[in-house]
Structure 1
Amino acid sequence: MTTGRITFSRAGLGDVGTIAVMVGELLEEIMSASGTQAFNFNRAETDARLTEFISQDQYIVFIAQSEEAGAVGFVSLYKSLALYAEGYFGTIAECYVRPKYRSQSIGRGLLAQAKAYALNQGWQRLEVTTPPLPPFDRTLAFYGREGFNVAGGRKMKVLL
């Protein structure tokens, strides 16, 4: 549990290593709960990718920091476009709060940062894909409480 103040800020290149570690934690949690090896995580490659994405100013990351514990969560998003969405919108790529700090409104604060950024960009909406259900029913409920509605379908991929 955190007792200190939580601050939210836009991440920069100096935050790359910290965010990459949390990405690894997120992916491990998803794979452990779902029992599938859905992701390949390599810390050095993630650092390099994140450095490139942030440098291009196309991948926006907000980080939550505790006075005592340092980084406790992050949300990342990027600009998308589609006819069905009536123009530009944001896609939340990752949203993660370290387990010890959940249920303390940190996720809500991160989504507030993402929503404010999206509004400032003139985007029509934000979309997010939840991890596999039922292990992540709480995640789905969290997004529902934050105003997200089920849009249907499942996220699918093909490796090329």
Structure 2
Amino acid sequence: MTAEFTLHKAAADNAQEVAVMVGELLTEIMNAIGTQAFNFDLAATTSRLKDFLNRDKYDVFVARGRHGDAVGFITLYESYALYAEGAFGTIAELYVRPDFRAEGLGLRLVSQARSFGASRGWTRLEVTTPPLPQFDRTLAFYEREGFAVSGGRKLKVSL
């Protein structure tokens, strides 16, 4: 039997429950790669997310299970680039708690992001996955949903 889920746009008062899931996501990634790649602090992440939401810098959609518990989320932000022919969206985080995977919830969250982006006039939606074997299933998921590799690797430098 497929579980029932509802999706809603998060507000600042949802920040802590989303931040908890961000911690779960980052822990899962670090366990998969065997490296302490992220510094996670629940209070700081909650505060940052509240600020992002209050300033309309971030859009978050939360998935809830039958009993109203948060079981997944997707975060988006708007960017601008000449190569993208204007405004576009980036999926910063997508997470579904393990007990709720393989029930189509990731697809529903991505579909929500696509609809939201279309309503904002975005030309495209981008996402980055690590080019590591540990994330082959993640890459395959996005490719099934119509995402195509656009080249390059995501690089960073701390400021």
Fold similarity call, TM over 0.5:
yes
Cα deviation for residue 132 of structure 1 reads 4.6
Q: How does 1:47-66 map to 2 (within 5 A)?
A: 47-66=46-65
Q: 2:3·2:103 contact (CA, 8 Å) conserved in 1?
A: no
TM-score, normalization: structure 1? 0.95
The answer to whether 1:84 aligns with 2:83 is yes
Cα deviation for residue 4 of structure 1 reads 3.9
**Structure 1 match to 2:4:** 5
Cα deviation for residue 121 of structure 1 reads 0.4
Q: 2:2·2:103 contact (CA, 8 Å) conserved in 1?
A: no
Report the AA paired with residue 84 of structure 2. Answer: A
CA–CA distance in structure 1, aligned partners of residues 134 and 2 of structure 2:
29
CA–CA distance in structure 2, aligned partners of residues 26 and 4 of structure 1:
21
The alignment partner of 1:135 has SS state of helix
Report the AA paired with residue 95 of structure 1. Answer: L
Cα deviation for residue 61 of structure 1 reads 0.2
CA–CA distance in structure 2, aligned partners of residues 12 and 69 of structure 1:
16
Q: 1:30·1:131 contact (CA, 8 Å) conserved in 2?
A: no
**Structure 1 match to 2:120:** 121
Cα deviation for residue 131 of structure 1 reads 3.4
CA–CA distance in structure 2, aligned partners of residues 132 and 46 of structure 1:
26
CA deviations on 1:19-68 (whole Å, 9 max, x unpaired) are: 00000000001111011111100000001000000001120000100013
Structure 2's unaligned 5+ residue stretches are: none
CA–CA distance in structure 1, aligned partners of residues 31 and 58 of structure 2:
27
Cα deviation for residue 69 of structure 1 reads 6.3
Q: Bigger CA drift: 12-21 or 62-71?
A: 62-71
Q: 1:89·1:125 contact (CA, 8 Å) conserved in 2?
A: yes
Report the AA paired with residue 130 of structure 1. Answer: T
Q: 1:4·1:68 contact (CA, 8 Å) conserved in 2?
A: no
Q: How does 1:145-156 map to 2 (within 5 A)?
A: 145-156=144-155
Cα deviation for residue 3 of structure 1 reads 5.2
Q: How does 1:5-154 map to 2 (within 5 A)?
A: 5-68=4-67, 70-154=69-153
Identity %: 58
Structure 1's unaligned 5+ residue stretches are: none
CA deviations on 1:60-115 (whole Å, 9 max, x unpaired) are: 00010001361110000010011111111001100011111111100000011110
Q: How many residues align?
A: 159
CA–CA distance in structure 2, aligned partners of residues 55 and 69 of structure 1:
23
Cα deviation for residue 15 of structure 1 reads 1.0
Task: Sort the Cα spacing of 1:75 and 1:108 in 2 relative to 1 into closer, same or farther, 3 A.
Answer: same
